[in-house]
Amino acid sequence: MDISFTLPSLLQPADLMTLMRHIKESRNIVICGHHAPDGDALGSTLAWQGYLRALGKKANVVMPNAHPDFLRWMPQSQTVKNFRDHYAVARRLIDEADLFFFLDLNEMQRMQALGSYIAQHSRAPRLVVDHHLNPKTEEFDLMVSYPDMSSTCELILRLLIELGAYDDLTPTQATQLYTGIMTDTGCFSYSIADPLTFALAGMLLRKGIDAEEINKNVYHSWSENKLRLWNHILSKNLRTYPELHTSLYTLTRQTMKDFHFIRGDAEGLVNEPLKVKGMKLSIALREDTEEDVIRVSLRSTGGFQCRDMAEQFFNGGGHANAAGGKLPFPIEEAVKKAEEAIAAYADELKKPAERNIKD
């Protein structure tokens, strides 16, 4: 069976040369992902670390803060240093670094305190591989930016193929990359307009990874507390605005305490209301556990793009259908702000959801 396909190159020859030169000239490389690392950020940074280490480089992943518990099973995830819990060692790695890779992020600010520290203390080149819209090109030395791509993991895999590294890709790296593609596409259910995404996932399966096990590790490893928390939010806390095809819920520190919340327990919850037929926008307002801010998560479907709302009302940004931001005030005021945002988009939200599949 021949399932060969042509893979268009990601990089112009000059950029590929630049990338290879930077790697060749460096010894101590630090790889970072965005704040609150998800499966894509963790998978892509770890797989890239594996590639660089195989080249004989000293490469380390440094994250702004800890990744969620539901990703702890990921091979090598325990080696990741984060700027909050491993401050001294993370700082030393950054101070020694002669090259940075920033994966799954489009601006230094997405790394919060880690980004500020690097900007202030290091002059080492900064290279980016990312799939978010509106990259801040001026902050980086080389940018591999493909906002249409499903995930940074897909991008990293393509880059590795382009660099001739597919044959040496290990099952560990393939597992890391598959996780990022799987989580960023909601198990291959969105951001998958490109048939290549499936072909590339197939190339990872060929490395002998256990896709079923990966899926179980990520999605079916809930605690009972998490199950009850989701039930509580959806049954007691969800407000809906049926004419506007919109829903909104809050998650307070008190509720987190009541349900013995651990990091990652609310991950994905914001997608749930979109399972209601016709629903176009889901808004989540969550009291942050580390800072005095409200984290805003937006998810949309049916033709509504939530990124503009995130930029205009929530000091944030993101993708067309998955965006977020933060608000510097108490939860009640955050609800008012969200209702203001919903009202401002009422005309657009009122229209029935568009169907992707044409009858």
Interaction between residue 191 and ligand 5GP (CB under 6 A): no
Is residue 317 a contact residue for ligand 5GP (CB under 6 A)? yes
Q: What is the DSSP letter of 235?
A: I
Check binding of 115 to ligand 5GP (CB under 6 A).
no
State which of positions 128-157 bind ligand 5GP (CB under 6 A): 132
Residues 324-353 touching ligand 5GP, rule: CB under 6 A, are 324-326
The residues in 276-315 that bind ligand 5GP, with binding defined as CB under 6 A, are 297
User: Which three-class secondary structure state does DSSP give residue 151?
Assistant: coil
Q: Is 33 in the site for ligand 5GP (CB under 6 A)?
A: no
Residue type (1 letter), 79: T
Looking only at residues 47 through 106 of this chain, which bind Mn ion when binding is defined by CB under 5 A?
A: 104
Contact residue for ligand 5GP among 318, 335, 341, 345 (CB under 6 A): 318
Closest to Mn ion by CB, 104 vs 267, is 104
Question: Which partner, ligand 5GP, Mn ion, none, binds residue 272 by CB below 5 to 8 Å per kind?
Answer: none
Of 112-120, 142-150, 219-227, 321-329, the segment contacting ligand 5GP by CB under 6 A is 321-329
Dist. CA 160–CA 157, nearest whole Å: 5
- Measure the CA–CA gap between 27 and 58, rounded to whole angstroms: 6
List the alpha helices (DSSP H) in the chain. Answer: 13-24, 39-54, 87-96, 113-121, 152-162, 171-184, 195-205, 211-219, 224-232, 253-258, 307-313, 331-344, 346-350
Q: Which of 15, 45, 22 is nearest to 33 (CA)?
A: 45
40 touches Mn ion (CB under 5 A)? yes
132 binds, among ligand 5GP, Mn ion, none (CB under 5 to 8 A by kind): ligand 5GP
Q: Which of 181, 322, 342, 349 binds ligand 5GP (CB under 6 A)?
A: 322
Whether 306 and 298 have beta carbons less than 8 Å apart is answered as yes
What single string gives the DSSP state of each residue in 202-234? HHHHTTT--HHHHHHHHHS---HHHHHHHHHII
Residues that bind Mn ion (CB under 5 A): 40, 104, 152, 184
Residues that bind ligand 5GP (CB under 6 A): 132, 297, 316-319, 322-326
